[in-house]
Every structure is written in structure tokens, then in C-alpha cells.
Amino acid sequence: MAKNQDKTKVTRISATDTTKPTKVSKTKAEKPVKTKKTSIKRKRSFGILGKIGGYFKGAWVELRQVHWPTRSATWGLTGAVLLFAAFFVVFITLLDAGFKYVFEQILR
């Protein structure tokens, strides 16, 4: 048994830190890389029709950025919602029947 204890080394770590924090200098690899900003160029809109067109153009840009779920994920989530709703329909119906029974017994 003494031989097994010699091979096992346990390192204990404490939560206290007695060392002072050191300043970390940024190297070229750590500096953030500047990227080209993409922006939507807005044309001058004239009147209410231009504002409505600008709204739909912005909405279309936002819709293109959405990460849409796959067909199988959509069906899986739809099934989960239907099962959840069915469970609560049965649960509420049973509660209603139980309360009805209790009140009928009280009122007799």
C-alpha cells in the first residue's frame, strides 16, 4: 500500500492569491483587427411612400440576417408545443372536474 501512495501526487489549490497582478502588454497578435464596416446606404426618401419603402427595405435586410431553423427542427419544436398544450388541456380539464365534484359534494 505504501508503494501506491508514493505514485499518487495530490496538488492542493487554495482560493487565495498572494501575488500582485502583473501588467500584460499587448503584442501585435493581440490587438484587435479592424474590419470593414458594412452599412446600408440610405437614399433620401420623399414623402410617406419613401418612408414606407425604406421600412420594407430595412425589414428585408433584417430578415436576410436571421438564422432560420431546419425543417426537422421546426417539426420537432411544433410537436413539443402541441404536446405541451395537450398536457395542459388535460390537466385543466381534470382540475375543473375535480373542483366541480368537490363543490357539488359541499352544496348537497
Q: What is the pLDDT along the chain (108 residues), one digit of tens a residue?
A: 555 556 777 777 777 766 665 565 555 555 555 666 666 666 565 788 888 999 999 999 999 999 989 999 999 999 999 999 999 999 999 999 999 999 999 998
pTM: 0.42
Domain that holds residue 106: 70-108
Cα–chain-centroid distance for residue 3? 51
Domain assignment of residue 19, yes or no: no
| Domain-embedded: residue 8 | no
Residues 70-89: b if buried by 16+ CB within 10 A, e if exposed: eeeeeeeeeeeeeeeeeeee
Flag whether 21 is in a domain.
Answer: no
Residue 76 lies in a domain: yes
> What's the domain count of the chain?
1
Tell me, yes or no, whether 46 lies in a domain.
Answer: no
User: With contact defined as beta carbons under 8 Å apart, do 58 and 40 qualify?
Assistant: yes
Q: Per the domain annotation, does 104 fall within a domain? A: yes
